[in-house]
Amino acid sequence: MMMGLGGAMGTFGSSMASLFFLWATFQQMFPDHLKIAIKEFLLSTLQQVSFVQRFSDHIINFFSPYVVISFPEYEGYYHFNHAFAAIDTYLGAKAIDKAHKLKASQVKESKGLVLKRDEAKVRDVYQGVHVWWETVTSTDGYRTQKLTFHRRGLEIVTGSYIKHVVEEGISIEAKSKKTKLFTNNPSSNWDATNKGSLWRHIDFEHPASFKTLAMDPTKKEEVLNDLEAFRNGKDYYKKIGKAWKRGYLLYGPPGTGKSTMIAAMANHLNYNIYDIELTAIKTNSELRKLLTATSSKSMIVIEDIDCSVDLTGKRKKGDGDLRVKKEGEQRKEDQDQSRVTLSGLLNFIDGIWSACGQERIIVFTTNHMEKLDPALIRRGRMDMHIELSYCSFEAFKVLAKNYLDVDSHPLFGEIESLLKDTKMAPADVAEKLMAKNQTVDVDGSLTDLVQSLERRRKEQRDQDDDDHKKKPGGKKLGMFRGLF
Ligand SMILES: Nc1ncnc2c1ncn2[C@@H]1O[C@H](COP(=O)(O)OP(=O)(O)OP(=O)(O)O)[C@@H](O)[C@H]1O
Ligand SMILES: [Mg+2]
Protein backbone atom coordinates (compact mmCIF):
# COMPACT_ATOMS: atom_id res chain seq x y z
CA MET A 1 0.00 0.00 0.00
CA MET A 2 2.87 2.36 0.73
CA MET A 3 4.08 2.19 -2.87
CA GLY A 4 0.62 2.92 -4.26
CA LEU A 5 0.11 5.74 -1.84
CA GLY A 6 3.61 7.06 -2.45
CA GLY A 7 2.98 7.26 -6.19
CA ALA A 8 -0.38 8.88 -5.66
CA MET A 9 1.09 11.36 -3.25
CA GLY A 10 3.88 12.23 -5.70
CA THR A 11 1.41 13.11 -8.44
CA PHE A 12 -0.76 14.83 -5.89
CA GLY A 13 2.19 16.88 -4.62
CA SER A 14 3.14 18.21 -8.06
CA SER A 15 -0.50 19.03 -8.92
CA MET A 16 -0.82 20.83 -5.61
CA ALA A 17 2.28 22.94 -6.29
CA SER A 18 0.87 24.12 -9.63
CA LEU A 19 -2.50 24.79 -8.05
CA PHE A 20 -1.01 26.84 -5.24
CA PHE A 21 0.90 28.93 -7.78
CA LEU A 22 -2.23 29.59 -9.86
CA TRP A 23 -4.29 30.29 -6.78
CA ALA A 24 -1.74 32.83 -5.45
CA THR A 25 -1.73 34.63 -8.83
CA PHE A 26 -5.52 34.62 -8.89
CA GLN A 27 -5.67 36.01 -5.31
CA GLN A 28 -3.34 38.86 -6.12
CA MET A 29 -5.00 39.89 -9.35
CA PHE A 30 -8.63 40.24 -8.30
CA PRO A 31 -10.52 41.77 -5.37
CA ASP A 32 -12.69 39.34 -3.27
CA HIS A 33 -16.14 40.13 -4.64
CA LEU A 34 -14.84 39.83 -8.17
CA LYS A 35 -13.24 36.49 -7.39
CA ILE A 36 -16.52 35.03 -6.11
CA ALA A 37 -18.40 36.35 -9.12
CA ILE A 38 -15.82 34.87 -11.50
CA LYS A 39 -15.90 31.55 -9.71
CA GLU A 40 -19.71 31.35 -9.79
CA PHE A 41 -19.85 32.40 -13.38
CA LEU A 42 -17.27 29.81 -14.38
CA LEU A 43 -18.99 27.04 -12.46
CA SER A 44 -22.49 27.73 -13.72
CA THR A 45 -21.29 28.07 -17.28
CA LEU A 46 -19.16 24.95 -17.19
CA GLN A 47 -21.76 22.81 -15.48
CA GLN A 48 -24.33 23.61 -18.14
CA VAL A 49 -22.13 22.22 -20.82
CA SER A 50 -22.09 18.45 -20.36
CA PHE A 51 -19.13 17.68 -22.57
CA VAL A 52 -16.91 19.77 -20.36
CA GLN A 53 -18.19 18.11 -17.20
CA ARG A 54 -14.85 16.51 -16.39
CA PHE A 55 -13.08 19.81 -16.84
CA SER A 56 -15.60 21.47 -14.55
CA ASP A 57 -14.83 18.84 -11.90
CA HIS A 58 -11.21 19.88 -12.02
CA ILE A 59 -12.17 23.51 -11.59
CA ILE A 60 -14.35 22.67 -8.61
CA ASN A 61 -11.51 20.73 -7.08
CA PHE A 62 -9.26 23.70 -7.69
CA PHE A 63 -11.53 25.98 -5.69
CA SER A 64 -12.29 23.38 -3.06
CA PRO A 65 -10.19 23.46 0.08
CA TYR A 66 -10.67 19.70 0.47
CA VAL A 67 -8.32 16.93 -0.45
CA VAL A 68 -9.45 13.41 -1.41
CA ILE A 69 -7.25 10.33 -1.18
CA SER A 70 -8.53 7.07 -2.67
CA PHE A 71 -7.71 3.56 -1.52
CA PRO A 72 -8.93 1.11 -4.14
CA GLU A 73 -9.60 -2.49 -3.11
CA TYR A 74 -7.52 -3.78 -6.01
CA GLU A 75 -4.55 -2.15 -7.64
CA GLY A 76 -4.47 -3.71 -11.08
CA TYR A 77 -4.96 -7.39 -11.72
CA TYR A 78 -4.59 -9.69 -8.73
CA HIS A 79 -2.99 -7.04 -6.62
CA PHE A 80 -5.11 -6.87 -3.51
CA ASN A 81 -4.55 -3.65 -1.60
CA HIS A 82 -4.08 -4.79 1.98
CA ALA A 83 -4.48 -1.19 3.21
CA PHE A 84 -8.06 -1.33 1.96
CA ALA A 85 -8.85 -4.32 4.17
CA ALA A 86 -7.25 -2.68 7.22
CA ILE A 87 -9.15 0.58 6.62
CA ASP A 88 -12.37 -1.36 6.18
CA THR A 89 -11.86 -3.09 9.53
CA TYR A 90 -10.93 0.17 11.25
CA LEU A 91 -14.01 1.93 9.92
CA GLY A 92 -16.19 -1.06 10.74
CA ALA A 93 -15.14 -0.86 14.36
CA LYS A 94 -15.14 2.94 14.52
CA ALA A 95 -17.57 4.45 17.00
CA ILE A 96 -20.18 1.75 16.66
CA ASP A 97 -22.08 3.41 19.52
CA LYS A 98 -22.89 6.30 17.18
CA ALA A 99 -23.72 4.22 14.13
CA HIS A 100 -27.26 3.71 12.94
CA LYS A 101 -26.65 0.59 10.90
CA LEU A 102 -24.77 -2.34 12.40
CA LYS A 103 -23.85 -5.75 11.11
CA ALA A 104 -23.52 -8.58 13.64
CA SER A 105 -21.56 -11.78 13.23
CA GLN A 106 -20.48 -14.56 15.49
CA VAL A 107 -16.75 -15.22 15.61
CA LYS A 108 -15.80 -18.37 17.48
CA GLU A 109 -18.12 -19.31 20.30
CA SER A 110 -15.50 -18.23 22.80
CA LYS A 111 -15.18 -14.81 21.21
CA GLY A 112 -18.86 -13.91 21.22
CA LEU A 113 -20.74 -11.60 18.91
CA VAL A 114 -18.92 -9.01 16.85
CA LEU A 115 -20.69 -5.81 15.87
CA LYS A 116 -19.53 -3.87 12.85
CA ARG A 117 -20.59 -0.52 11.53
CA ASP A 118 -22.39 -1.09 8.26
CA GLU A 119 -22.55 2.38 6.73
CA ALA A 120 -20.94 3.75 3.62
CA LYS A 121 -19.93 7.05 5.26
CA VAL A 122 -17.94 7.45 8.46
CA ARG A 123 -16.66 10.60 10.13
CA ASP A 124 -13.51 10.58 12.20
CA VAL A 125 -11.44 13.10 14.13
CA TYR A 126 -7.70 12.72 14.64
CA GLN A 127 -5.51 15.26 16.42
CA GLY A 128 -8.15 17.92 15.79
CA VAL A 129 -8.41 17.14 12.06
CA HIS A 130 -11.88 16.16 10.82
CA VAL A 131 -11.96 13.55 8.10
CA TRP A 132 -14.72 11.83 6.15
CA TRP A 133 -14.53 8.33 4.79
CA GLU A 134 -16.81 7.05 2.09
CA THR A 135 -16.96 3.59 0.51
CA VAL A 136 -17.73 3.93 -3.17
CA THR A 137 -18.61 0.93 -5.32
CA SER A 138 -18.03 1.19 -9.06
CA THR A 139 -20.42 -0.31 -11.61
CA ASP A 140 -18.14 -3.33 -12.05
CA GLY A 141 -18.19 -4.07 -8.34
CA TYR A 142 -14.81 -2.65 -7.29
CA ARG A 143 -14.82 -0.83 -3.99
CA THR A 144 -12.75 2.21 -3.08
CA GLN A 145 -12.37 3.95 0.27
CA LYS A 146 -12.34 7.72 -0.22
CA LEU A 147 -10.81 9.89 2.46
CA THR A 148 -11.74 13.58 2.39
CA PHE A 149 -10.26 16.26 4.63
CA HIS A 150 -9.43 19.96 4.66
CA ARG A 151 -6.03 20.60 3.22
CA ARG A 152 -5.10 22.24 6.53
CA GLY A 153 -4.83 18.69 7.89
CA LEU A 154 -2.73 17.38 5.01
CA GLU A 155 0.42 16.98 7.05
CA ILE A 156 -1.28 15.19 9.94
CA VAL A 157 -3.34 12.93 7.68
CA THR A 158 -0.50 11.85 5.42
CA GLY A 159 2.10 12.00 8.15
CA SER A 160 0.42 9.89 10.77
CA TYR A 161 -3.36 9.45 10.48
CA ILE A 162 -3.32 6.95 7.58
CA LYS A 163 -0.59 4.93 9.28
CA HIS A 164 -2.65 4.97 12.48
CA VAL A 165 -5.78 3.75 10.68
CA VAL A 166 -3.98 0.91 8.92
CA GLU A 167 -2.19 -0.22 12.09
CA GLU A 168 -5.38 -0.05 14.15
CA GLY A 169 -7.24 -2.00 11.46
CA ILE A 170 -4.62 -4.73 11.40
CA SER A 171 -4.62 -5.01 15.18
CA ILE A 172 -8.44 -5.13 15.40
CA GLU A 173 -8.44 -7.74 12.69
CA ALA A 174 -5.93 -9.84 14.62
CA LYS A 175 -7.92 -9.63 17.86
CA SER A 176 -11.34 -10.50 16.56
CA LYS A 177 -10.32 -12.51 13.56
CA LYS A 178 -12.32 -15.48 12.43
CA THR A 179 -9.87 -18.04 11.27
CA LYS A 180 -10.58 -18.86 7.64
CA LEU A 181 -9.84 -21.82 5.50
CA PHE A 182 -9.08 -20.88 1.89
CA THR A 183 -9.01 -23.31 -1.02
CA ASN A 184 -7.87 -22.37 -4.49
CA ASN A 185 -10.41 -22.40 -7.29
CA PRO A 186 -9.37 -24.19 -10.48
CA SER A 187 -7.83 -21.55 -12.73
CA SER A 188 -10.44 -22.34 -15.40
CA ASN A 189 -12.98 -20.82 -12.98
CA TRP A 190 -11.08 -17.58 -12.41
CA ASP A 191 -13.17 -14.73 -13.78
CA ALA A 192 -11.96 -12.21 -16.33
CA THR A 193 -10.58 -9.81 -13.74
CA ASN A 194 -9.53 -12.64 -11.39
CA LYS A 195 -10.98 -10.47 -8.70
CA GLY A 196 -11.93 -12.46 -5.66
CA SER A 197 -12.08 -15.68 -7.64
CA LEU A 198 -8.65 -17.13 -6.96
CA TRP A 199 -9.58 -18.43 -3.52
CA ARG A 200 -12.86 -19.44 -1.93
CA HIS A 201 -13.12 -19.58 1.83
CA ILE A 202 -15.16 -20.81 4.75
CA ASP A 203 -14.86 -20.08 8.45
CA PHE A 204 -12.42 -22.48 9.98
CA GLU A 205 -13.96 -24.11 13.02
CA HIS A 206 -11.84 -27.18 13.58
CA PRO A 207 -11.71 -27.98 17.31
CA ALA A 208 -8.15 -29.39 17.27
CA SER A 209 -5.72 -28.03 19.82
CA PHE A 210 -2.26 -28.94 21.00
CA LYS A 211 -3.80 -30.07 24.27
CA THR A 212 -5.84 -32.76 22.55
CA LEU A 213 -3.14 -33.69 20.02
CA ALA A 214 -1.75 -37.12 20.83
CA MET A 215 2.00 -37.20 20.34
CA ASP A 216 5.20 -37.47 22.26
CA PRO A 217 5.02 -34.68 24.90
CA THR A 218 8.63 -33.58 24.38
CA LYS A 219 8.12 -33.27 20.63
CA LYS A 220 4.86 -31.42 21.17
CA GLU A 221 6.60 -28.96 23.49
CA GLU A 222 9.32 -28.46 20.91
CA VAL A 223 6.79 -27.62 18.19
CA LEU A 224 4.88 -25.27 20.48
CA ASN A 225 8.06 -23.45 21.49
CA ASP A 226 9.05 -23.14 17.86
CA LEU A 227 5.68 -21.62 16.94
CA GLU A 228 5.88 -19.17 19.84
CA ALA A 229 9.41 -18.13 18.89
CA PHE A 230 8.22 -17.58 15.34
CA ARG A 231 5.17 -15.57 16.36
CA ASN A 232 7.25 -13.27 18.57
CA GLY A 233 10.17 -13.18 16.18
CA LYS A 234 9.44 -10.03 14.16
CA ASP A 235 12.47 -8.11 15.46
CA TYR A 236 14.70 -11.16 15.41
CA TYR A 237 13.97 -11.92 11.74
CA LYS A 238 14.53 -8.28 10.91
CA LYS A 239 17.81 -8.24 12.78
CA ILE A 240 19.20 -11.29 11.01
CA GLY A 241 17.87 -10.05 7.66
CA LYS A 242 15.63 -13.03 6.93
CA ALA A 243 12.05 -13.06 5.74
CA TRP A 244 9.62 -13.69 8.58
CA LYS A 245 8.53 -17.17 7.52
CA ARG A 246 8.94 -20.72 8.71
CA GLY A 247 8.54 -24.04 6.97
CA TYR A 248 7.32 -27.24 8.57
CA LEU A 249 7.36 -30.65 6.97
CA LEU A 250 4.95 -33.04 8.66
CA TYR A 251 5.51 -36.66 7.80
CA GLY A 252 4.16 -39.99 8.93
CA PRO A 253 1.74 -42.77 8.02
CA PRO A 254 -1.98 -42.09 7.39
CA GLY A 255 -4.09 -41.24 10.42
CA THR A 256 -1.24 -40.13 12.66
CA GLY A 257 -2.42 -36.54 13.02
CA LYS A 258 -0.71 -34.47 10.33
CA SER A 259 -3.86 -32.65 9.26
CA THR A 260 -4.95 -32.43 12.89
CA MET A 261 -1.65 -30.76 13.76
CA ILE A 262 -2.12 -28.18 11.00
CA ALA A 263 -5.52 -27.34 12.48
CA ALA A 264 -4.02 -27.14 15.97
CA MET A 265 -1.28 -24.80 14.70
CA ALA A 266 -3.79 -22.52 12.98
CA ASN A 267 -5.97 -22.40 16.09
CA HIS A 268 -2.99 -21.76 18.33
CA LEU A 269 -1.68 -18.87 16.23
CA ASN A 270 -5.07 -17.67 15.01
CA TYR A 271 -3.76 -17.75 11.42
CA ASN A 272 -5.75 -18.36 8.27
CA ILE A 273 -5.08 -21.52 6.34
CA TYR A 274 -4.54 -21.48 2.58
CA ASP A 275 -4.88 -25.09 1.50
CA ILE A 276 -3.32 -25.33 -1.95
CA GLU A 277 -4.56 -28.00 -4.31
CA LEU A 278 -1.64 -28.11 -6.73
CA THR A 279 -3.45 -30.26 -9.25
CA ALA A 280 -5.93 -27.43 -9.85
CA ILE A 281 -3.10 -25.10 -10.91
CA LYS A 282 -1.74 -25.22 -14.44
CA THR A 283 1.40 -23.12 -14.37
CA ASN A 284 4.04 -21.67 -12.10
CA SER A 285 2.71 -18.21 -12.84
CA GLU A 286 -0.76 -19.22 -11.66
CA LEU A 287 0.83 -20.52 -8.50
CA ARG A 288 2.59 -17.20 -8.03
CA LYS A 289 -0.66 -15.30 -8.44
CA LEU A 290 -2.29 -17.48 -5.82
CA LEU A 291 0.52 -17.12 -3.35
CA THR A 292 0.81 -13.37 -3.72
CA ALA A 293 -2.92 -13.08 -3.00
CA THR A 294 -2.48 -14.66 0.45
CA SER A 295 -2.42 -12.45 3.49
CA SER A 296 0.08 -12.10 6.29
CA LYS A 297 -0.45 -14.21 9.44
CA SER A 298 -1.36 -17.23 7.45
CA MET A 299 -0.37 -20.83 6.86
CA ILE A 300 0.15 -22.05 3.31
CA VAL A 301 -0.54 -25.76 3.29
CA ILE A 302 0.26 -28.30 0.61
CA GLU A 303 -0.89 -31.75 1.69
CA ASP A 304 0.57 -34.94 0.27
CA ILE A 305 3.32 -33.10 -1.53
CA ASP A 306 4.68 -36.39 -2.92
CA CYS A 307 1.41 -36.99 -4.78
CA SER A 308 1.24 -33.52 -6.30
CA VAL A 309 4.75 -33.05 -7.59
CA ASP A 310 6.97 -35.94 -8.61
CA LEU A 311 10.69 -36.33 -8.13
CA THR A 312 11.64 -34.60 -11.34
CA GLY A 313 9.49 -31.70 -10.37
CA LYS A 314 6.72 -32.25 -12.91
CA ARG A 315 3.14 -32.51 -11.90
CA LYS A 316 1.79 -36.00 -11.58
CA LYS A 317 -1.94 -35.67 -11.68
CA GLY A 318 -4.44 -33.49 -13.54
CA ASP A 319 -6.39 -33.71 -16.74
CA GLY A 320 -3.74 -31.65 -18.51
CA ASP A 321 -1.58 -34.76 -18.67
CA LEU A 322 -4.07 -36.64 -20.81
CA ARG A 323 -4.31 -33.80 -23.27
CA VAL A 324 -0.54 -33.60 -23.50
CA LYS A 325 -0.15 -37.24 -24.45
CA LYS A 326 -2.54 -36.84 -27.37
CA GLU A 327 -0.83 -33.78 -28.74
CA GLY A 328 2.64 -35.18 -29.20
CA GLU A 329 6.09 -34.88 -27.72
CA GLN A 330 7.02 -31.32 -28.72
CA ARG A 331 3.81 -30.02 -27.29
CA LYS A 332 4.46 -32.01 -24.13
CA GLU A 333 7.81 -30.31 -23.64
CA ASP A 334 6.26 -26.88 -24.07
CA GLN A 335 3.55 -27.72 -21.62
CA ASP A 336 5.96 -29.05 -19.05
CA GLN A 337 7.88 -25.83 -19.07
CA SER A 338 4.85 -23.82 -18.22
CA ARG A 339 3.52 -26.19 -15.59
CA VAL A 340 3.69 -26.18 -11.86
CA THR A 341 7.07 -27.61 -11.05
CA LEU A 342 8.82 -28.35 -7.83
CA SER A 343 11.51 -25.84 -8.68
CA GLY A 344 8.84 -23.23 -9.45
CA LEU A 345 7.32 -23.82 -6.07
CA LEU A 346 10.63 -23.76 -4.24
CA ASN A 347 11.89 -20.70 -6.07
CA PHE A 348 8.78 -18.89 -5.10
CA ILE A 349 9.04 -19.91 -1.47
CA ASP A 350 12.68 -18.82 -1.32
CA GLY A 351 12.44 -15.78 -3.53
CA ILE A 352 9.63 -13.49 -4.44
CA TRP A 353 7.27 -14.69 -1.79
CA SER A 354 9.88 -14.17 0.90
CA ALA A 355 10.40 -10.66 -0.29
CA CYS A 356 6.77 -9.62 -0.24
CA GLY A 357 5.26 -11.86 2.37
CA GLN A 358 5.42 -11.34 6.08
CA GLU A 359 4.61 -13.64 8.96
CA ARG A 360 3.86 -16.78 7.04
CA ILE A 361 4.13 -20.42 7.75
CA ILE A 362 4.35 -23.01 5.03
CA VAL A 363 3.45 -26.60 5.77
CA PHE A 364 3.96 -29.62 3.57
CA THR A 365 2.70 -33.05 4.54
CA THR A 366 3.66 -36.44 3.22
CA ASN A 367 3.17 -40.11 3.99
CA HIS A 368 6.43 -40.93 2.22
CA MET A 369 9.37 -38.91 3.40
CA GLU A 370 11.69 -41.22 1.45
CA LYS A 371 10.04 -40.25 -1.86
CA LEU A 372 10.67 -36.54 -1.48
CA ASP A 373 13.15 -34.62 -3.54
CA PRO A 374 16.21 -33.75 -1.46
CA ALA A 375 15.83 -30.16 -2.68
CA LEU A 376 12.56 -29.98 -0.86
CA ILE A 377 13.73 -31.35 2.43
CA ARG A 378 17.15 -29.83 2.68
CA ARG A 379 17.66 -27.86 5.87
CA GLY A 380 16.93 -24.21 5.66
CA ARG A 381 14.06 -24.77 3.30
CA MET A 382 11.73 -26.64 5.60
CA ASP A 383 12.94 -25.39 8.96
CA MET A 384 11.51 -28.19 11.03
CA HIS A 385 10.75 -31.79 10.16
CA ILE A 386 8.04 -33.15 12.42
CA GLU A 387 7.37 -36.84 12.52
CA LEU A 388 3.88 -37.99 13.42
CA SER A 389 4.13 -41.66 14.15
CA TYR A 390 2.07 -44.65 15.21
CA CYS A 391 0.42 -44.34 18.59
CA SER A 392 2.84 -44.50 21.52
CA PHE A 393 1.69 -45.06 25.08
CA GLU A 394 2.20 -41.34 25.83
CA ALA A 395 0.00 -40.44 22.87
CA PHE A 396 -2.57 -43.02 23.95
CA LYS A 397 -2.81 -41.37 27.38
CA VAL A 398 -3.75 -38.07 25.72
CA LEU A 399 -6.46 -39.82 23.70
CA ALA A 400 -7.76 -41.67 26.78
CA LYS A 401 -8.03 -38.35 28.59
CA ASN A 402 -9.79 -36.69 25.63
CA TYR A 403 -12.23 -39.44 24.85
CA LEU A 404 -12.78 -41.22 28.17
CA ASP A 405 -11.59 -38.64 30.70
CA VAL A 406 -9.37 -41.18 32.47
CA ASP A 407 -5.74 -40.83 33.56
CA SER A 408 -5.25 -44.44 34.59
CA HIS A 409 -6.95 -47.81 34.42
CA PRO A 410 -5.99 -51.44 35.16
CA LEU A 411 -5.79 -52.11 31.40
CA PHE A 412 -3.23 -49.34 30.82
CA GLY A 413 -0.31 -51.71 31.56
CA GLU A 414 -1.43 -54.20 28.93
CA ILE A 415 -2.10 -51.45 26.41
CA GLU A 416 1.37 -50.02 27.03
CA SER A 417 3.07 -53.32 26.25
CA LEU A 418 0.85 -53.95 23.20
CA LEU A 419 1.55 -50.50 21.77
CA LYS A 420 5.30 -51.11 22.05
CA ASP A 421 5.26 -53.63 19.23
CA THR A 422 2.03 -52.90 17.34
CA LYS A 423 1.69 -50.25 14.69
CA MET A 424 -1.67 -48.58 15.16
CA ALA A 425 -2.33 -45.02 14.05
CA PRO A 426 -3.82 -42.62 16.62
CA ALA A 427 -6.84 -42.35 14.28
CA ASP A 428 -7.58 -46.06 14.78
CA VAL A 429 -6.99 -45.90 18.54
CA ALA A 430 -9.29 -42.87 18.74
CA GLU A 431 -11.96 -44.74 16.86
CA LYS A 432 -11.94 -47.51 19.47
CA LEU A 433 -12.17 -45.00 22.31
CA MET A 434 -15.01 -43.03 20.84
CA ALA A 435 -18.32 -43.26 22.66
CA LYS A 436 -20.76 -45.64 21.04
CA ASN A 437 -24.26 -44.17 20.83
CA GLN A 438 -22.97 -41.19 22.80
CA THR A 439 -22.42 -43.33 25.91
CA VAL A 440 -18.96 -43.34 27.43
CA ASP A 441 -18.02 -46.87 28.52
CA VAL A 442 -14.44 -46.82 29.81
CA ASP A 443 -14.08 -50.57 30.45
CA GLY A 444 -15.84 -51.53 27.20
CA SER A 445 -13.78 -49.14 25.04
CA LEU A 446 -10.44 -50.14 26.57
CA THR A 447 -11.23 -53.86 26.27
CA ASP A 448 -12.22 -53.25 22.67
CA LEU A 449 -8.88 -51.51 22.10
CA VAL A 450 -6.90 -54.34 23.71
CA GLN A 451 -8.61 -56.91 21.47
CA SER A 452 -8.08 -54.81 18.42
CA LEU A 453 -4.38 -54.31 19.27
CA GLU A 454 -3.93 -58.06 19.80
CA ARG A 455 -5.51 -58.78 16.41
CA ARG A 456 -3.36 -56.13 14.76
CA ARG A 457 -0.20 -57.47 16.40
CA LYS A 458 -0.94 -60.96 15.13
CA GLU A 459 -1.61 -59.70 11.60
CA GLN A 460 1.60 -57.73 11.60
CA ARG A 461 3.63 -60.71 12.86
CA ASP A 462 2.10 -62.98 10.20
CA GLN A 463 2.82 -60.40 7.54
CA ASP A 464 6.42 -60.03 8.70
CA ASP A 465 6.83 -63.82 8.66
CA ASP A 466 5.48 -63.95 5.08
CA ASP A 467 7.83 -61.21 3.95
CA HIS A 468 10.70 -63.01 5.62
CA LYS A 469 9.86 -66.27 3.86
CA LYS A 470 9.54 -64.53 0.49
CA LYS A 471 12.92 -62.93 0.83
CA PRO A 472 15.28 -65.39 2.44
CA GLY A 473 18.28 -63.59 3.80
CA GLY A 474 16.31 -60.33 4.09
CA LYS A 475 16.63 -58.48 7.35
CA LYS A 476 13.00 -57.36 7.56
CA LEU A 477 11.75 -58.88 10.77
CA GLY A 478 11.91 -56.41 13.57
CA MET A 479 13.67 -53.84 11.43
CA PHE A 480 10.70 -51.53 11.16
CA ARG A 481 9.46 -52.22 14.64
CA GLY A 482 12.44 -50.45 16.08
CA LEU A 483 11.50 -47.36 14.11
CA PHE A 484 8.07 -46.93 15.63
N1 LIG B 1 -2.07 -37.47 16.90
C2 LIG B 1 -3.41 -37.39 17.00
N3 LIG B 1 -4.00 -36.81 18.05
C4 LIG B 1 -5.32 -36.72 18.14
N5 LIG B 1 -6.16 -37.22 17.24
C6 LIG B 1 -5.64 -37.81 16.17
C7 LIG B 1 -4.24 -37.93 15.99
N8 LIG B 1 -4.00 -38.57 14.84
C9 LIG B 1 -5.19 -38.84 14.31
N10 LIG B 1 -6.18 -38.39 15.09
C11 LIG B 1 -7.63 -38.55 14.83
O12 LIG B 1 -7.76 -39.23 13.59
C13 LIG B 1 -8.36 -38.45 12.59
C14 LIG B 1 -7.52 -38.50 11.32
O15 LIG B 1 -6.27 -37.89 11.56
P16 LIG B 1 -5.55 -36.89 10.52
O17 LIG B 1 -6.48 -36.54 9.43
O18 LIG B 1 -4.94 -35.77 11.29
O19 LIG B 1 -4.42 -37.85 9.97
P20 LIG B 1 -3.32 -37.55 8.87
O21 LIG B 1 -2.00 -37.85 9.48
O22 LIG B 1 -3.51 -36.23 8.30
O23 LIG B 1 -3.64 -38.69 7.80
P24 LIG B 1 -3.40 -38.70 6.21
O25 LIG B 1 -1.96 -39.00 6.00
O26 LIG B 1 -4.27 -39.81 5.75
O27 LIG B 1 -3.81 -37.38 5.70
C28 LIG B 1 -8.45 -37.06 13.16
O29 LIG B 1 -9.67 -36.47 12.85
C30 LIG B 1 -8.30 -37.23 14.64
O31 LIG B 1 -9.57 -37.35 15.23
MG1 LIG C 1 -4.11 -35.55 6.40
Choice from 209, 249, 260 to test ligand 1 binding pocket (greatest atom count within 8 A of CB): 260
List, in order of start, the domains of the chain with CATH numbers.
Answer: 2-175 (no CATH), 180-387 (3.40.50.300), 393-483 (no CATH)
CA–CA distance, 459 with 476 (Å, rounded to integer):
15
Residue with the bigger pLDDT between 429 and 307: it is 429
3-class secondary structure, 270: coil
Which ligand 1 atom sits closest to the C-alpha of 250?
A: 21
> Best mutation site among 256, 273, 275, 389 for ligand 1, i.e. most ligand atoms within 8 A of its Cβ?
256
Cα–chain center distance at 228:
18
Instruction: Give yes or no for a contact between 157 and 128, defined as CB atoms under 8 angstroms apart.
Output: no
The number of beta carbons lying within 10 Å of the beta carbon of residue 243 is: 18
Coil vs helix vs strand at 362 = strand
Nearest CA to ligand 1 atom 13: 427
The Cα–Cα gap between 188 and 281 comes to: 9
Which of 109-113, 142-146, 372-376 has the highest mean predicted lDDT (pLDDT)?
142-146
Higher pLDDT, residue 40 or 182: 182
Q: How confident is the model at residue 111 (pLDDT cuts 50, 70, 90)?
A: very low
The arithmetic mean of pLDDT across residues 183-191, rounded, is 81
Question: Does 87 or 16 have the greater pLDDT score?
Answer: 87
pLDDT at 387 over 90: yes
Nearest CA to ligand 1 atom 25: 254
> What is the rounded distance in angstroms from the CA atom of residue 184 to the CA atom of residue 197?
9
Run of H or E residues at 21: helix 2-29
For 289-304, what is the mean pLDDT? Answer: 87
C-alpha 59 – ligand 1 centre gap (Å)? 66
Q: Which ligand is nearest the CA of 368, by number?
A: 1
Which residue among 259, 305, 386 is best mutated to probe the pocket of ligand 1, counting the most ligand atoms within 8 A of its Cβ?
Answer: 259
- Could you tell me the pTM of the whole model? 0.65
Atom of ligand 1 nearest to the CA of 215: 1
Atom 31 (ligand 1): residue with closest C-alpha? 427
Amino acid making up residue 165: V
User: Poorest-confidence range of 53-62, 107-116, 335-344, 432-441?
Assistant: 107-116
**Radius of gyration over alpha carbons of the chain, in Å?**
30
Phi/psi for 387 (5° steps) reads -95, 125
Please report which ligand is nearest the Cα atom of 366.
Answer: 1
- The pLDDT value recorded for residue 465 is 76
For ligand 1, the distance from its centroid to the CA atom of residue 481, given in whole angstroms, is: 21
| Share of residues in the chain with pLDDT > 70 (%) | 67
pLDDT of residue 30: 57
Give, using CA atoms, the residue closest to atom 17 of ligand 1: 259
Lowest mean pLDDT among 268-277, 321-330, 404-413: 321-330
**Least trusted range by pLDDT, from 8-22, 86-100, 160-174:** 8-22
Average pLDDT over residues 395-406: 95
In angstroms, what is the span from residue 275 Cα to ligand 2's centroid?
Answer: 12
Least confident among 73-82, 92-101, 209-218, 336-345 = 92-101
Q: Which residues line ligand 1 (CB under 6 A)?
A: 213-215, 254-260, 367, 388, 426-427, 430
Give the Å distance between the CA of 249 and the centre of ligand 2.
12
Average pLDDT over residues 67-85: 76
Q: Residue 355: what pLDDT?
A: 59
At residue 61 the predicted structure's pLDDT band, cuts being 50, 70 and 90, is low
Tell me how far the alpha carbon of residue 213 lies from the centroid of ligand 1, in angstroms. 9
H-helix or E-strand spanning residue 469 = helix 442-470
Summarised one tens digit per residue, pLDDT across range 441-455 is: 899 999 999 999 999
Among 26-40, 121-135, 454-468, name the most confident range: 121-135
Ligand 2 centroid from CA 321, angstroms: 25
Top pLDDT among 21 and 227 is at: 227
pLDDT at position 164 is 94
Average the pLDDT over 175-181 and give the result: 78
Segment 406-416, tens digit of pLDDT: 999 999 999 99
Average pLDDT over residues 398-422: 95
Higher per-residue confidence, 470 vs 336: 470
